[in-house]
């Protein structure tokens, strides 16, 4: 499912699968449920922040100097 800013989306399903096309950054969503009798729920807004995943660098071990064994 591709969401477009400012364009309402309707679905008979209780879940929504979003494609991976949202750009990095915060996105505000508004959810309002309408039942079969046309009654509307109180709308709720929430922010989803998309972040770029970056690999965690593996640290290079630092040798610890030791005195020579005699």
Q: What does the pLDDT look like over 4-52, one tens digit per residue?
A: 777 888 888 878 777 777 888 998 888 888 888 989 899 899 998 888 8
Enter the tokens of residue 67.
């005195």
Contact 1, 9 (CB under 8 A): yes
Q: Cα–Cα distance between 40 and 60 in angstroms, integer?
A: 58
Instruction: Give the residue extent of every domain in the chain.
Output: 1-52
pLDDT at 1 (0 to 100): 67
- Nearest CA to 16 among 38, 42, 39, 48? 48
* Residue appearing with tokens 């505000």: 28
């Amino acid at each position: 499912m591709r969401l477009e800013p400012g364009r309402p989306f309707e679905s008979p399903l209780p879940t929504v699968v979003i494609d991976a096309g949202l750009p990095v950054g915060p996105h505000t969503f508004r959810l309002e449920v309408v039942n079969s009798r046309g009654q509307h729920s109180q709308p709720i807004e929430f922010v989803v922040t998309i972040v770029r995943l970056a690999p965690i660098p593996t640290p290079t071990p630092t040798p610890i100097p030791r005195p020579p064994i005699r």
